[in-house]
Amino acid sequence: MEKDRAPAAGAAQAASDLESYRARLGEIDKAMAELFTERLYICRQIGLYKKEHGMPYFVKEVEDRVIERFKGFCPAEFEDAADYLINALIHEGIGIQERLG
């Protein structure tokens, strides 16, 4: 009889662990959304500054520095994902600036 209970207990623990992981991901997603929103607001402020001073919205050298800085914050095993993410963030930031006119 005890044998029958052990797998169920193990499955219950695994399900509990899985829910804990998912709950933590939810917390991380919330924090990321807040930081993403803040980043876009700052991109808009930068765009307004650039517009006022007749500066281009896109500067390749700055983009390259931002990409390398971001990738440096991440473990090497996630370099491809980090590159994808920062490029998406930059694209959205430049898009916000360009829509300012």
Give pLDDT, residue 13.
80
Quick count: other Cβ atoms within 10 Å of Cβ 71? 17
Give pLDDT, residue 15.
78
Q: What digits encode the pLDDT tens for the residues 37-95?
A: 999 999 999 999 999 999 999 999 999 999 999 999 999 999 999 999 999 999 999 99
Contacts of 48 (CB under 8 A, 6+ apart): 100
Instruction: Give me the mean pLDDT over the 9-21 stretch.
Output: 84
- pTM here is 0.80
Give pLDDT, residue 51.
96
Contact 83, 30 (CB under 8 A): no
Show the domains of the chain with their CATH numbers. Answer: 2-98 (1.20.59.10)
Give pLDDT, residue 16.
87
End-to-end CA distance of the chain: 73
Give pLDDT, residue 14.
76
Contact 90, 66 (CB under 8 A): yes
